[in-house]
A and B are shown apart, each in its own frame.
With several copies, the nearest count.
Chain A
Amino acid sequence: MMFWRQAMTIAGHELLLERRAGETWSIIVPFAGAALIVVPMAIGTDLQLISRIAWPLYWAMVLLFGMQIAWRHSASERTPVREVMILLGVDPAARFVGRVLANALLMTVFMVGVGLLSLLLYSPVSSPGFGRFALVVLLFAAGLAQLSTMAADLTLGIGARAALAPLLVAPLAMPLLIGAAQSTASVTRTGVILPWLLMLVLADLILAVVGLLTARALEEAAI
């Protein structure tokens, strides 16, 4: 199982790098500290309004900021390091899986952190149970991690990367966004969340297939 060993090694390496450079941490902290305070400040004293838009806003923010984890600077893709990786004969698919695992973990941590803070600051009208919330976060993070890792590869080395990558991810992430927003919201409306969860699972699976199939081509194209 060289494939899984390589994937796990890469994932561990990415996480170690993140622990040292602390870039995701550096998105969580400013986000939690700034965004969550800035929004209510700007909206003013209309607490009811804030709590009504809390969940949708949460998913929108988490999508926008979460995807940037995939092209953070400390990710091990500085040209010489990347090239060594390639020349070690690491299977592109294993590299993809490893990076997706690391990114998904980081995104999950990020989302849980921001989620707890929103809960505290916004008191949203309806809170899904913790179990459901955790499930939706995991499915969302898995999809977002795959999508944004692919986008990161596709835009590697392009000057305007920070512009292009979100442009690629945001529209394609719409099924994830709608699925997640509906799964957490619909308890107040119809209570039927299973179709939305299935949509999330389906999106994740499609992305996984596409990701694995294109990994090799992406690695070739990224040089």
Chain B
Amino acid sequence: MTRLRLLMVVAGLAAVVGVALAYTTPPEALQRTYARIVNIHVPSMWLAFLAFAVTAAGSIGWRITRNRSWDRLAGGSAEIGVLFTIIGLVTGMIWGRPVWGVFFDWGDARMASTAVLLLVYLAYLALRRTTIDPEVRAARASILGIVAVIQVPLVYFSVNLFRTLHQTQSFRPDGSTMHPTMVRALLVNLAAFTLLYLALLSARMLVARLEDAAAAREMAAAAGGAVLPPNLTGAVDG
């Protein structure tokens, strides 16, 4: 509990520093202050990728060990991944309006593939929600959790496959195309988001463990008493 609190505090502090750093970067020539949104947009998407990778890892872990905690890890991480994807998508839309003149464009490979990514993981969460039995839920979700992660590289490389509005990766083996102060701010924000992810994930794990324990207690209460001796003297009226 205290470790979780500490993690939260550190993540919060890192976020404050990140925002402050974002405003130390010079405003971009064409986009003015809008360019600063990159400090939320990019870390969110990267953390979403990481979260979905953890979901896949958790799914593989469950398939090997059949240990429930792997399933909890997969499910919890997917929830946070969806949250970060939504943040990335929304910040992208806010950014796109002044820069490209549209909120959203179905023709842009990255936007479309990110929307698809979001939908698949929403479906993943829906599948978890609609399957009551924990064993069946873990079994089904693990399959989808492993298969769905294929999309992460697809989204990442979509800009290279189809040249459209969205810009290509700025960090490449042959060097960065960004201003150094921007890189610094971005890296700090990335660290802040990673801490935030870890904090949220531990909190979610804790809740999931408590939920499972509560379900187990309720289970014991539900046992027995379904069929009783008939009460043939009863009168039915009304």
Tell whether any CB of A sits under 8 Å from a CB of B in the complex.
yes
- Measured between beta carbons, the chain B residues less than 8 angstroms from A170 are 119
Partner of B139, one of A41, A164, A217: A217
Partner of A164, one of B117, B130, B136: B130
Decide yes or no whether B68 CB sits under 8 A from chain A.
Answer: no
Partner of A221, one of B107, B122, B130, B139: B139
- A167 to B143, Cβ gap below 8 A? no
Decide yes or no whether A155 CB sits under 8 A from chain B.
Answer: yes
- Measured between beta carbons, the chain A residues less than 8 angstroms from B122 are 33, 167
Please measure, in the bound complex, the distance between the C-alpha atom of A100 and the C-alpha atom of B144, giving whole angstroms: 19
- Measured between beta carbons, the chain A residues less than 8 angstroms from B126 are 160, 163-164, 167
- Measured between beta carbons, the chain B residues less than 8 angstroms from A158 are 127, 130-131
- Measured between beta carbons, the chain B residues less than 8 angstroms from A164 are 123, 126-127, 130
Interface residues on A, range: 20 to 34
Looking across the interface, which residue of chain A has its beta carbon closest to that of B146?
Answer: A214
Please measure, in the bound complex, the distance between the C-alpha atom of A155 and the C-alpha atom of B123, giving whole angstroms: 11
Partner of A214, one of B102, B115, B130, B147: B147
- Measured between beta carbons, the chain B residues less than 8 angstroms from A167 are 119, 122-123, 126
Decide yes or no whether A124 CB sits under 8 A from chain B.
Answer: no
- B112 to A47, Cβ gap below 8 A? no
Decide yes or no whether A45 CB sits under 8 A from chain B.
Answer: yes
Chain B CB within 10 Å, residue with most, of A40, A158, A206, A223:
A158
Partner of B105, one of A47, A155, A171: A47
A218 and B130 in contact, given A44-B107, A171-B123 (Cβ under 8 angstroms): no
Chain B CB within 10 Å, residue with most, of A160, A172, A223:
A172
Dominant secondary structure of chain B at its interface with chain A = helix
Please measure, in the bound complex, the distance between the C-alpha atom of A222 and the C-alpha atom of B139, giving whole angstroms: 8
- Measured between beta carbons, the chain B residues less than 8 angstroms from A171 are 116-117, 119-120, 123
Interface residues on B, range: 20 to 34
Looking across the interface, which residue of chain B has its beta carbon closest to that of A160?
Answer: B130
- A41 to B112, Cβ gap below 8 A? yes
Interface string of A67-86 (1 = CB under 8 A from B): 00000000000000000000
Please measure, in the bound complex, the distance between the C-alpha atom of A223 and the C-alpha atom of B106, giving whole angstroms: 39
Please measure, in the bound complex, the distance between the C-alpha atom of A174 and the C-alpha atom of B140, giving whole angstroms: 22
Looking across the interface, which residue of chain A has its beta carbon closest to that of B116?
Answer: A171
A218 and B143 in contact, given A155-B127, A164-B130 (Cβ under 8 angstroms): yes
Decide yes or no whether A154 CB sits under 8 A from chain B.
Answer: yes
Decide yes or no whether A210 CB sits under 8 A from chain B.
Answer: yes
Looking across the interface, which residue of chain B has its beta carbon closest to that of A206?
Answer: B150
- A154 to B130, Cβ gap below 8 A? no
Interface residues of A in 165-223 (CB under 8 A from B): 167-168, 170-172, 174, 206, 210, 214, 217-218, 220-223
- B147 to A37, Cβ gap below 8 A? no
Decide yes or no whether A131 CB sits under 8 A from chain B.
Answer: no
- Measured between beta carbons, the chain B residues less than 8 angstroms from A206 are 150
Partner of B143, one of A47, A160, A214: A214
Decide yes or no whether B184 CB sits under 8 A from chain A.
Answer: no
A-B pairs with beta carbons under 8 Å apart, 23 shown: A33-B122, A37-B106, A37-B119, A44-B107, A47-B105, A47-B106, A154-B127, A154-B144, A158-B127, A159-B130, A164-B130, A167-B122, A167-B123, A168-B127, A170-B119, A171-B123, A174-B112, A174-B116, A217-B143, A221-B136, A221-B140, A221-B143, A222-B140
The 9 A-B pairs at the shortest CB distance, nearest first, are namely A45-B107, A221-B139, A171-B119, A171-B116, A167-B123, A40-B106, A221-B140, A168-B123, A158-B130
List 13 extra interface pairs beyond A164-B123, A221-B139, A221-B143, CB under 8 A.
A37-B119, A45-B106, A158-B127, A158-B130, A160-B130, A164-B126, A167-B123, A168-B127, A171-B117, A214-B147, A217-B143, A221-B140, A223-B136
* Residue ranges of A at the interface with B (Cβ–Cβ < 8 Å): 33, 37, 40-41, 44-45, 47, 154-155, 158-160, 163-164, 167-168, 170-172, 174, 206, 210, 214, 217-218, 220-223
